[in-house]
Structure 1
Amino acid sequence: MSATRRLYKVLVSHPNVPKAALELLQQRGCETIVCESVPPSRVEILRKLPGVDAILWAHYQSLDGEILDAAGSQLKVVSTMSSGIDYVDMAEFKRRQMPLGHTPGIVRNSVADLAVGLMVSAARHFHAGRQEIEKSLWRTEQINWMMGQEVRGSVVGFLGFGGIGQTIAKRLQGWEAAKMIYHTRTQRENPFGAIHVPFEQLLRESDFLIVACPLTAETREKFSADAFKQMKSNCVFVNVGRGGIVDQPALVDALKCGEIAAAGLDVMTPEPLPADHPLLKLPNCVVIPHLGTQTMQTTTEMGITAAKNILNALEGKPMICPAY
């Protein structure tokens, strides 16, 4: 191991980055400078950045020119520990030709498992049922109480049909859905028989509609009041993409007035969601606090991949997962 390699300094923006990722960096001759505050303090990050050769960015605060300037001209590479990078100023990174890595693909299994859980919990009234128990309103001897819907015989639609969308579809094999449809900019070959359709058809036909795409200028508030009006009244809407893909007040209205049946959300706007937010008062909305990647296995794999992105770039090799 060369002396030069031992001098590489890597800022790690969060103290809970998996130990395996830190050990990999250290074993390969890097000094890790780990920020200690939770949630991450931008003041601390900016204070510790000067002179570092690389940044492992492990949270969702803005990653922009201020951060790159604070690091200095010797900065060689940045890798996020996330799949989505909507919080990154991509134009600034490209302008400076700063290598940027991220960790897509790894998250597909944990997010797909959670998406199926949201489908079932929203369609079968888990949240409303719990509320009935808490109010001592659990009804017995009543055939039509808390009637939900099944995946069997339904049309399952996807906005976005990349790694996460197709892994959800894989999970649903054997659930006897009548059909799977999806909308993306281009048609995707897939082994699930899913059919590429226009967005308006996706809205009209889906009994379950799963958002599994990144937040971009094209997808921002794609689910508007007009979109919800086009959806089936029995539709179960699931979002594991980003909160900004949905016009959230329009979603609240659609759930209140019965334009759609239910929603299951792992992402919303803002995050964290205020405790008095209208979404949390709706019996037909299951809300969880952005837990998609929150498993030990996935988080560890994300940390290791981010570390490998950095090490490869420092060694002049292609990153495992470059962002552009």
Structure 2
Amino acid sequence: MASRPIVFVSRSLPPAGINLLNTECDVRVWPTDSNITRQGMLDGVRGGVDAIVCHPPDKVDTEVLDLAGYKLKVIGTMSVGLEHLDLPEIRKRGIKVGYTPNVLTDATAEMTMALLLATSRRLQEGFSAVHEGGWGTWGGGMYLCGKQITGSVVGIVGLGRIGLAVAMRLQPFGVSQFLYSGNSAKPWASDVNAKFVKFDTLLQQSDFVIACCSMNAQNKGLFNKDAFSKMKDSAIFINTSRGVLVNQEDLYDALKSGKILAAGLDVATPEPLPKDHPLKTLKNCVITPHLGSATTQARNLMAELTAKNVLAGLKGEALPSPVP
């Protein structure tokens, strides 16, 4: 009887994924829900495995690949981001890679909306007032007044699946105009009556600037001192895409000086942010711990797709969702 393939999983998977893998494979799982240590990653693949299931920021590099051995056929990452994978080295060895786009679009769009509302209506400061005794000690009629979405101009940098989903959710709020920038005009922009403009034009005209673009070599640090200087003083910046899109020192300066009104971040560099990071000291910066895909539905769909990618790779079949 042929032995079952061995799969190493770097963090516990939701039931939809782990149950599927267990039906056909011998599965080794990192025993805690915390991020796997480097040594844990090395020990997990040591002696050879047929497949690896990983998550950012678990590094899969030459050292991991060497220890995993010649039997390694497929890597399934439960993510859209790929920065943790040494793709050139993986491809050189003929190993297939699957990832999980599409299934987290709605969850991430909802998280973007949550941050937009939290920053525009100053919810973080409101929560603090309730818990710290500030409620009822209003300093005038403008106490904790925020910014309305109704009648605003919303700029979306990257009108892909998530960008479009965000715009569709914002439509009922009475946005006056959607602007978007990117590599090219998108035919689906007409679904939300969005206008394709240059990046600088978007920065200058938008009341809300939302980063929904994917990460590449050209847009690393895209939101920097120059970009923030072109935004309205009343503008709010939201990022649920990638932390490396933002120069965080420049963002801190822009928020601290009042060059922009507020920011909402679900992603950062590094993750987690150090406890003493300057952005954490600002009342006008709402930071969440990368919760974009954190719904039960999305995580189970991601886990299921990851398992299907791995099982297909083990059988020599086409992956349902291969990395391009």
Confirm or deny that 1:19 pairs with 2:15.
Answer: yes
Partner residue, 1:30? 25
Confirm or deny that 1:100 pairs with 2:107.
Answer: no
Confirm or deny that 1:41 pairs with 2:37.
Answer: yes
Tell me the amino acid that sits aligned with residue 232 of structure 1.
K
Confirm or deny that 1:182 pairs with 2:180.
Answer: yes
Confirm or deny that 1:229 pairs with 2:229.
Answer: yes
Shift of 1:321: 0.9
Structure 1 segments, 4+ long, off by >4 Å, are none
Task: Check whether the contact 1:187–1:196 (CA below 8 A) recurs between aligned residues.
Answer: yes
Q: Match of 1:174, SS?
A: helix
Give unpaired runs (5+ residues) of structure 2: none
Number of residue pairs the alignment of both structures matches? 319
Partner residue, 1:210? 210
Partner residue, 2:147? 149
Task: Check whether the contact 2:209–2:238 (CA below 8 A) recurs between aligned residues.
Answer: yes
- The one-character-per-residue Cα deviations of 1:14-41 (angstroms, maximum 9, x if unpaired) are 1x211221111122x2111112143212
Superposed counterparts of 1:39-118, under 5 Å: 39-49=35-45, 50-118=47-115
Please give the alpha-carbon distance, in whole angstroms, between the structure 2 residues aligned to 1:308 and 1:145. 52
Give unpaired runs (5+ residues) of structure 1: none
The TM-score, its normalising length taken from structure 1, stands at 0.94
Structure 1 pair 80–136 and aligned structure 2 pair: CA distance change class (3 A)? same
Shift of 1:176: 0.8
Please give the alpha-carbon distance, in whole angstroms, between the structure 2 residues aligned to 1:155 and 1:104. 28
Please give the alpha-carbon distance, in whole angstroms, between the structure 2 residues aligned to 1:141 and 1:244. 38
Q: Match of 2:27, SS?
A: strand
Please give the alpha-carbon distance, in whole angstroms, between the structure 2 residues aligned to 1:107 and 1:195. 25
Partner residue, 2:193? 193
Please give the alpha-carbon distance, in whole angstroms, between the structure 1 residues aligned to 2:252 and 2:139. 32
- The one-character-per-residue Cα deviations of 1:124-179 (angstroms, maximum 9, x if unpaired) are 11122333445533344832222211111111111122111111112112111011
Structure 1 pair 230–48 and aligned structure 2 pair: CA distance change class (3 A)? same
Tell me the amino acid that sits aligned with residue 52 of structure 1.
V
Task: Check whether the contact 1:40–1:59 (CA below 8 A) recurs between aligned residues.
Answer: no
Confirm or deny that 1:9 pairs with 2:16.
Answer: no
Task: Check whether the contact 2:242–2:268 (CA below 8 A) recurs between aligned residues.
Answer: yes
For structure 1, which segment, 155-164 or 234-243, has the greater mean C-alpha deviation from structure 2 after superposition? 155-164
Please give the alpha-carbon distance, in whole angstroms, between the structure 1 residues aligned to 2:102 and 2:66. 30
Partner residue, 2:274? 274
Tell me the amino acid that sits aligned with residue 5 of structure 2.
Y
Please give the alpha-carbon distance, in whole angstroms, between the structure 2 residues aligned to 1:160 and 1:93. 28
Identity of aligned residues (%): 37
Partner residue, 2:284? 284
Please give the alpha-carbon distance, in whole angstroms, between the structure 2 residues aligned to 1:222 and 1:59. 22
Please give the alpha-carbon distance, in whole angstroms, between the structure 2 residues aligned to 1:248 and 1:267. 11
The TM-score, its normalising length taken from structure 2, stands at 0.94
Please give the alpha-carbon distance, in whole angstroms, between the structure 1 residues aligned to 2:128 and 2:41. 42
Shift of 1:74: 1.2
Task: Check whether the contact 1:10–1:52 (CA below 8 A) recurs between aligned residues.
Answer: yes
